[in-house]
């Protein structure tokens, strides 16, 4: 059997790599199709260069480069492989002569982050051209449907909902299989971290200043930057005095560093390629790490040595909990209350309800800005813990399927779809 994985950014190997290796282990012909025609001015380090692709333990892949949706449409129509795997549904296909179902390869969406496939769906035709949605757990299928109803990027009908449900298959989270490739002792040695020193992972603050005055003032740590922020949002000046009194990034990073000092902990600041650590974050860090590896991915290497992870509503809570690392949500600057629509609840706040993805007792923890600045420095790492029973519940609901390689579950579903298509032709 023949399979191709679409790579628009190098970081897409984070989602795809374990599935690629699983396909190779079955003796399949595997290709990686790199989209070199999509501009990435904000992510130059994420450009999909063949020279920087990861090593796969089960064999070699064939690489192809293409430029955007027009050339992808042509590749699909040539049926070079049985199935093409992407992280998103096809876009702009009405204008790009996308081949019809009987004249193209099978198209599968492998879920990258929770709900990403569904909230990025921009037209009904793109939905119809997906033959299978490979999702992590039933919970995210239901949430994805709710998000589509909420943001209304496409008219959401009962027919569309039924089509999504029929095409959705639960395959777990193939990315988690990468943990078997990681040696925590080697990771510590590579980064120069003493063997027995506790490690605190801090996920950087991503610039959210475009969302509003509150977020802009949180990032502004000088009078000049505060004045600039106030000038950008003149209609919000009435709120300015109260917002100026809120703890900003400087106070939060100071509290994080004090917590590490009091616990004799090594502070590892983790950033993605698309981001840049703020100077305040660089100043408090013992080391700043970007995406140095895609397979195994750096975020899993980081979590493999962490005693505690903290971040601002990051979906990396998944990697944290999967490695039994307690996760602390830093609930600051109203980040969780940024709305997709004024009439709808914020997705982050929805996921932060008690028992939710970001606020699950005995697995994740949450502190607001006042609690962080007043209490964190006096706390112990032991105050943040993971209960094994709660972690199991969390894993089953939000992460994947325990006890089996999830990449194999994905490949089983793909193989079944190929065999079904072949049988239908005879």
Assign 3-class secondary structure to 271-337: CCCCCCCCHHHHHHCCEEECCCCECCEHHHHHHHCCCEEEECCCCCHHHHHHCCCCEEEEECCCHHH
**CB-based contact 41:8 (threshold 8 Å):** no
214 and 361 share a domain?
A: yes
Rounded CA gap, 317 and 399, in Å? 10
Please report whether residue 293 resides in a domain: yes
Range of the domain at 228: 183-399
The number of residues in the chain equals 426
Tokens 């502070």 sit on residue: 267
Rounded CA gap, 67 and 355, in Å? 44
202 and 100 share a domain?
A: no
Please report whether residue 178 resides in a domain: no
CATH of residue 314 = 3.40.50.2000
Rounded CA gap, 357 and 353, in Å? 8
Q: What is the largest CA-CA distance in the chain?
A: 73
Q: Structural domain tally of the chain? A: 2
Please report whether residue 167 resides in a domain: yes
Average pLDDT in the 347-356 region? 84
**CB-based contact 364:370 (threshold 8 Å):** no
79-83, 142-146, 370-374: the lowest-pLDDT one: 142-146
Question: Per-residue pLDDT tens for 106-148?
Answer: 999 999 888 888 888 888 888 889 999 999 999 999 999 988 8
Rounded CA gap, 153 and 140, in Å? 18
101 and 168 share a domain?
A: yes
Please report whether residue 140 resides in a domain: yes
225 and 294 share a domain?
A: yes
More confidently predicted of 407 and 45: 407
Q: How far apart are the first and last CA of the chain?
A: 18
More confidently predicted of 251 and 339: 251
8 and 133 share a domain?
A: yes
**CB-based contact 317:358 (threshold 8 Å):** yes
252 and 287 share a domain?
A: yes
Question: Per-residue pLDDT tens for 280-330?
Answer: 999 999 999 999 999 999 999 999 999 999 999 999 999 999 999 999 999
Average pLDDT in the 330-359 region? 76
Closest CA to 306 of 289, 292, 326: 326
163 and 92 share a domain?
A: yes
310 and 415 share a domain?
A: no
């Amino acid at each position: 059997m023949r399979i191709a994985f679409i790579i628009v950014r190098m970081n897409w190997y984070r989602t795809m790599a374990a599935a690629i290796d699983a396909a190779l282990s079955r003796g399949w012909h595997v290709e990686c199709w790199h989209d070199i025609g999509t501009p990435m001015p904000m992510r130059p380090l994420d450009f999909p260069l063949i020279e920087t692709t990861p090593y796969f333990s089960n064999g070699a892949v064939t690489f192809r480069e293409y430029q955007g949706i027009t050339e992808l449409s042509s590749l699909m129509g040539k049926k070079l492989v049985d199935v093409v795997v992407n992280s998103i549904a096809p876009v702009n296909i009405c204008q790009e002569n996308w081949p019809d179902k009987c004249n193209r390869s099978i198209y599968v969406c492998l879920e990258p982050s929770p709900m990403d496939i569904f909230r990025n769906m921009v037209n009904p035709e793109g939905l119809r051209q997906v033959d299978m949605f490979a999702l992590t757990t039933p919970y995210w299928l239901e949430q994805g449907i709710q998000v589509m109803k909420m943001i209304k990027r496409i008219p959401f009908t009962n027919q569309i909902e039924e089509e999504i449900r029929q095409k959705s298959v639960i395959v777990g989270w193939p990315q988690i299989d990468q943990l078997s490739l990681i040696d925590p002792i080697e990771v510590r040695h590579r980064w120069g971290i003493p063997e027995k020193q506790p490690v605190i992972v801090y996920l950087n603050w991503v610039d959210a200043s475009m969302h509003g005055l509150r977020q802009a003032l949180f990032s502004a740590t000088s009078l000049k930057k505060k004045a600039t922020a106030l000038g950008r949002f003149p209609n919000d000046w009435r709120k300015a005095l109260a917002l100026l009194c809120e703890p900003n990034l400087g106070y939060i990073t100071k509290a994080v560093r004090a917590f590490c000092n009091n616990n004799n902990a090594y502070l590892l600041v983790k950033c993605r390629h698309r981001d840049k650590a703020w100077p305040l974050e660089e100043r408090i860090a013992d080391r700043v790490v970007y995406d140095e590896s895609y397979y195994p991915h750096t975020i899993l290497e980081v979590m493999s040595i962490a005693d505690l992870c903290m971040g601002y509503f990051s979906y990396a809570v998944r990697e944290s909990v999967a490695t039994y690392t307690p996760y602390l949500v830093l609930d600051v600057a109203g980040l969780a209350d940024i709305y997709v629509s004024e009439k709808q609840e914020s997705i982050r706040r929805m996921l932060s309800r008690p028992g939710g993805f970001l606020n699950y007792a005995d697995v994740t923890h949450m502190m607001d800005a006042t609690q962080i600045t007043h209490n964190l420095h006096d706390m112990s790492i032991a105050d943040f813990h993971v209960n094994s029973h709660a972690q199991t519940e969390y894993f089953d609901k939000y992460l994947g399927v325990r006890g089996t390689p999830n990449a194999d579950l994905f490949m089983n579903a793909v193989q079944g779809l190929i065999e079904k298509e072949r049988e239908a032709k005879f």
